[in-house]
Chain A
Amino acid sequence: MIRESYINWIVLAGFLVVPLWALSADEPFTITLATRAVLLALAAVGLNIALGIGGLVSLGHAAFFGLGGYAMGILAHHAQTFTPLELGMFTIAGTKSMPIIWLTAIIVSALAAFVIGLLSLRTTGVYFIMITLAFGQMFFFFSISWSAYGGEDGLSIYVRNGFPGLNTLVPIQFFGLCFTALCAALFVHWKLRKSPFGLALNAARQSPARVETVGLNPVRLKLLAFVISGAITGLAGALFADLNRFVSPTMFSWQLSGELIVLIIIGGVGRLMGPVIGAALFVTLEHFLGAFTDFWHVWLGVILLLIVLFARGGVVGILTGKAGPHV
């Protein structure tokens, strides 16, 4: 059996080596694929904080992914059409600057996560799952019927947004940005997990009654976890939209929420690198099985079923021989 920390470093190294190899072999498409995997991983790292540590089975995290995406889409749209964004009392200009877009995405999705979490955390169990799902759908349908920003067709951005000192149009540079964001999110997860807050949150997942009897409020702990989680997934959404230079209601779709959970389970729920491994496998499968058959989702379904029924700890669980946290 392999130590988890070895696996973690190997996976991270792999994520650096593949695009660098692709760069030298002049295979820009592979870099794009790797970027896609990094961003799905980033979104799932966000979800993993709520799901893996806090035990919150959110089937609506696409809401935050999509909000991040639209934060980028709307700001960039106003910048490229040179129209100001009217927000009732005040007016702001659009922007093509990534740092501002990221900050907006993080704040907007954190606020949304706060409101959704506040309402959803009144419930537990299946109710929580269904309610988060319903909130995700709410955003989905809203984005479809809100024609100002493209409605069903979505919004296209002509040129990728900029980052000071970098040329984001060069795939490897954009990859570097996304990879850095992923590492930062992983660092947040790692720090959180060991912090007093993480200790309490992790206990709140296992035994809310215990946490209450030591004088802590489990719902507040989970709410904060949900907000942090939503903010990270929102950031991933903004970057993902930038990768495709396109944002549409599908970023809000519940299939996406489901896939984020799937990534985590394939890799190992509650594990630091679970979502990263899951995303790498997912994108690889999608690419190779997708080339081989149009119906690769069938095989994804079968693999997923097998993992759920027979290998609950996911890849990390199999490699380390330790089942890992139960959600």
Chain B
Amino acid sequence: MSEAVLETRNLHKSFGALKATDDVSIDLRPGEIHAIIGPNGAGKSTLIAQICGGLQPDAGSVHLSGRDVSGLSTAARAQAGLGRTFQISALAMEDTVLENALLGALGQSGRPWQFWRSAARRTDLLDRAMAALDRVGLLDDAEQVTANLSHGQRRQLEVAVALTLGPKAFVMDEPMAGLGTEGSKTMTTFLDGLREEAPILLVEHDMDAVFALADRISVLVYGRVIATGTVDEIRASKEVKEAYLGEEA
């Protein structure tokens, strides 16, 4: 079995009396989509924040390609190869779509300290940004101001910015949220192809998408991973049904 690209070891995080993350150890292997599911407030976003660096865990560690990145800042983890998308789009809303993608390419290049040259003349950045926009189907909207995009297009742009980073692993928080059936299908097809490029840790509420995409699923309830397994195993698991799916089915 190949080594995990991304791994958490015994993560713990409490907010006062609330255990938002309770001994979570999961891993993401090359070429796979590992979905994290769980009811609202289960601690999925909190987990992602600890992986990507916004939130310091109380205990435990995060490893990227075998390297302990727990002590690194968010920026350093991104440079080390984490490509994150947010549950609620965090984009530069006044900037154009292209500028947002350029920002990603700029971060990837690691050379933001240029003051005299026009960013639009850095062809290396431009190519990278355009390529990413093209892949998510936003090329025609490159000159649009981001605030004018539809909700679905913003989700696509989130993904495009992550693409410009050329990450070792994607970490996506509900990329389908609010997309509608059609949008979800497109995004599903897109993510399906993306796993070859880098594995995806996917937090998602859309069960159709999860069952269609995931190689493995982990179920998070009250901050604990109560089960990890293939789609079929999770579907069959009694525990999961009781704790989570039961309520919905």
A contacts B: CB pair < 8 Å: yes
List A residues at the B interface (Cβ < 8 Å).
Answer: 191-192, 194-200, 202-203, 206-207, 209-217, 221, 224, 325-326
Q: Does B189 contact A (CB under 8 A)?
A: no
Q: Name the residue of chain B whose CB is nearest to the CB of A200.
A: B112
User: Are the C-beta atoms of B92 and A194 separated by less than 8 Å?
Assistant: no
Q: Which residues of B contact A211 (CB under 8 A)?
A: 75, 103, 107
User: Are the C-beta atoms of B118 and A195 separated by less than 8 Å?
Assistant: yes
Partner of B115, one of A192, A207, A214, A325: A192
User: Are the C-beta atoms of B106 and A216 separated by less than 8 Å?
Assistant: yes
Q: Which of B62-103 contact A (CB under 8 A)?
A: 73-76, 78-79, 84, 86, 90-95, 99-100, 102-103
User: Are the C-beta atoms of B106 and A214 separated by less than 8 Å?
Assistant: yes
Q: Name the residue of chain B whose CB is nearest to the CB of A192.
A: B115
Q: Which residues of B contact A192 (CB under 8 A)?
A: 115
User: Are the C-beta atoms of A215 and B119 separated by less than 8 Å?
Assistant: no
Q: Which residues of B contact A197 (CB under 8 A)?
A: 112-115
Q: Does B212 contact A (CB under 8 A)?
A: no
- Contact-size category for B: 35 or more
Q: Does B52 contact A (CB under 8 A)?
A: yes
Instruction: Give CA–CA (A285, B69) in the complex, Å.
Output: 57
Q: Does B122 contact A (CB under 8 A)?
A: yes
Q: Which residues of B contact A213 (CB under 8 A)?
A: 52, 74, 78, 84, 86, 90, 161
Q: Which residues of B contact A191 (CB under 8 A)?
A: 115-116
User: Are the C-beta atoms of A194 and B120 separated by less than 8 Å?
Assistant: yes
Query: Interface on chain A toward B: helix, strand, loop, or mixed SS?
Result: helix
Q: Does B104 contact A (CB under 8 A)?
A: yes
Q: Which residues of B contact A210 (CB under 8 A)?
A: 90-92, 100, 103, 161
Q: Does B165 contact A (CB under 8 A)?
A: yes
Q: Which residues of A contact B112 (CB under 8 A)?
A: 196-197, 200, 216, 221
Q: Which residues of A contact B84 (CB under 8 A)?
A: 213
Q: Which residues of B contact A200 (CB under 8 A)?
A: 103, 106-107, 112
User: Are the C-beta atoms of B116 and A212 separated by less than 8 Å?
Assistant: no
Q: How far is the CB of A225 from chain B (nearest CB, A)?
A: 11
Instruction: Give CA–CA (A206, B145) in the complex, Å.
Output: 13
Partner of A203, one of B79, B95, B113: B95
Q: Does B125 contact A (CB under 8 A)?
A: yes
User: Are the C-beta atoms of B117 and A195 separated by less than 8 Å?
Assistant: yes
Partner of B161, one of A195, A214, A325: A214
With contacts A199-B103, A210-B92 taken as known, whether A215 is within 8 angstroms of B110 at the C-beta atoms is: yes
Q: Does B54 contact A (CB under 8 A)?
A: yes
Q: Which residues of A contact B102 (CB under 8 A)?
A: 199
A-B residue pairs in contact (CB < 8 Å), sample of 23: A191-B115, A194-B119, A195-B116, A196-B113, A199-B95, A200-B103, A200-B106, A206-B94, A206-B95, A207-B92, A209-B86, A212-B73, A212-B75, A212-B78, A214-B107, A214-B108, A214-B165, A215-B75, A215-B76, A215-B107, A216-B103, A217-B73, A326-B94
Instruction: Give CA–CA (A211, B75) in the complex, Å.
Output: 8
Q: Which residues of A contact B94 (CB under 8 A)?
A: 202, 206, 325-326
Instruction: Give CA–CA (A326, B86) in the complex, Å.
Output: 22
Q: Which residues of B contact A209 (CB under 8 A)?
A: 54, 74, 86, 90
Q: How far is the CB of A166 from chain B (nearest CB, A)?
A: 28
Instruction: Give CA–CA (A299, B90) in the complex, Å.
Output: 41
Q: Which residues of A contact B164 (CB under 8 A)?
A: 214
User: Are the C-beta atoms of B115 and A195 separated by less than 8 Å?
Assistant: yes
Chain B, residues 163-193, CB within 8 Å of chain A (1/0): the string is 0110000000000000000000000000000
The 8 closest A-B pairs by CB, nearest first: A214-B107, A215-B78, A215-B107, A215-B79, A212-B74, A203-B92, A206-B92, A196-B119
Q: How far is the CB of B212 from chain A (nearest CB, A)?
A: 27
